[in-house]
Amino acid sequence: MPEGYQHIATPDPHSLWVVVPAYNEAQSIGSVVSALRAEGYRVVVVDDGSQDGTADVARAAGAIVLRHDLNLGQGGALQTGIAYSLESGASYIGTFDADGQHSAADVANMWRCLIAQDADIVLGSRFLGTSVGITRSRKLLLRLAVWFTRLHSGLKVTDTHNGLRLMTAQAASKLHLKQMGMAHASEILDEIAANQLRFCEYPVTIVYTEYSKKKGQSGLGSIRILTDLILGRMLK
Amino acid sequence: MLIQIILMLVFLLLLLRILRQRTLGVVFKTVSFFLVALASYVVLFPDVSNRVARFAGVGRGADLIIYICLAVGAYILIILYMHVKSNELRIARLVQRLAIEKRHIEDLTSNLHASRES
């Protein structure tokens, strides 16, 4: 962890709304919500048309739950959660994966980093931080994604597909995600570049469990992301 | 020849279908009429297409027609794909709005209950 942010006080935890997109995550969503609630944040779970009772588990754990009647994809769920949080008066908005790969303790440090650096958005980076249980092929795949995104958006980032982010309400209001699927991660970076948002990266811990690996993107999925991106560009 | 009769019948049925469809506009129907007329002309007088093909630098009229069909088909496919994508986005925006509005209503009612109780 980088030194120097510890002395910075974070604002009232209630002003941070953490958006957690979830699709059939009943197994993990409860502990994810509880961990975030324990830090005092408001947690907005967007149930993306799950059939396994994700919404009930999340609600029981203390989350504000929104439900999509159709499955749109992670990008779509994020946009819904961000829009709702903005309309409900959030000052800061975070994004957090539902499969339990992130650590809730990283959020406060990222928040301090955002304030200290006077940035608009902080992106979690597993390559600056630590990844527990990452496979070689996944590492290679993510590196390739980073390389491609750097080329594509011109942003010097070390991890492009990290679900842990924190931004100001003002920055969040500039995101208008059109990519409903997984290509939204690159789209967010594009929007950062287009709107000239000040961003910084913060090292975070990613824990790869059998569960999160199963729920994560396969190599084939990344080809889909790429096609989505290229077509999205062409049809803009 | 038999193929000419079959094709003419197909064209005629197609045109009848289009003309009887009430949801289609006058412009679409007029364009369809002229396209079917042109296609029928080429079917009935195949030598015309051969001459046009030679003029365009293609060996046979039938080849020229295949090339044109492929190009038009690809164009239509792309246009349809774009329509599908834009409709997908519109449906997604509806689903998102619906989820947000439903939540707002829940928030309002729970606030109301809370204020009544206190």
- Mean pLDDT across B94-114: 95
> Of residues A8 and A162, which shows the higher confidence score?
A162
User: How many domains are contained in chain A?
Assistant: 1
Report pLDDT digits (tens) over A185-204. Answer: 888 988 998 899 999 999 98
Q: What residues have CB less than 8 Å from B79, skipping those under 6 apart?
A: none
Kind of pairing, strands A165-168 and A92-95? antiparallel
Question: What sign results for the dihedral spanned by CA atoms A170, A171, A172, A173?
Answer: positive
Write down the pTM of the prediction: 0.82
CATH number for position A122: 3.90.550.10
Highest averaged pLDDT of the listed ranges A77-86, A125-134, B13-22: A77-86
User: Which of A67, A231, A235 is the closest to B99 by Cβ?
Assistant: A67
Indicate if the pLDDT at residue A40 is higher than 80.
yes
Whether the pLDDT of residue A15 is over 50: the answer is yes
Portion of chain A with pLDDT greater than 90, in percent: 55
Domain contains A67:
yes
Range from A125-139, A170-184, B21-35, B62-76 carrying the lowest mean pLDDT: A125-139
Residue A5 lies in a domain: no
User: Could you tell me the pLDDT band of residue A1, with boundaries at 50, 70 and 90?
Assistant: very low
At residue A225, the 3 state secondary structure works out as: helix
B89 touches chain A (CB under 8 A): yes
Residues of A with CB under 8 A from a CB of B: 46, 64-70, 72, 76, 79-80, 83-84, 87-88, 178, 180, 231, 235
For residue A222, tell me if it sits in a domain. Answer: yes
Check if the beta carbon of residue A208 is closer than 8 Å to that of residue A136.
no
Query: What is the pLDDT, as a whole number, of residue A217?
Result: 65
pLDDT higher than threshold 70 for residue A2: no
Residue B106, CB-side half-sphere exposure with 13 Å CA sphere: 12
Domain ranges, residue A148: 13-234
Residue A205 in any domain: the answer is yes
- Provide, for chain B, the percentages of residues in helix, strand and coil under a 3-state DSSP scheme, each rounded to the nearest 5: 90, 0, 10
**Residue A156: inside a domain, yes or no?**
yes
pLDDT at residue A150 in the model:
77
Q: Is residue B34's pLDDT more than 90? A: yes
Question: Would you call B88 an interface residue with chain A, using a CB distance cutoff of 8 Å?
Answer: yes
Higher pLDDT, B91 or A224: B91
In a domain, A3, yes or no: no
* Interval B102-109 mean pLDDT: 94
Instruction: Please provide the average confidence, as pLDDT, over all residues in chain A.
Output: 87
Task: Suggest the residue from B80, B82, B86, B95 to mutate for an interface test with chain A (most A CBs closer than 10 A).
Answer: B95
- Residues of chain B with pLDDT > 70, as a percent, come to 100
Residue A57 lies in a domain: yes
Q: Which residue of A has its CA nearest to B78?
A: A235
Instruction: Tell me whether residue A7 is in a domain.
Output: no
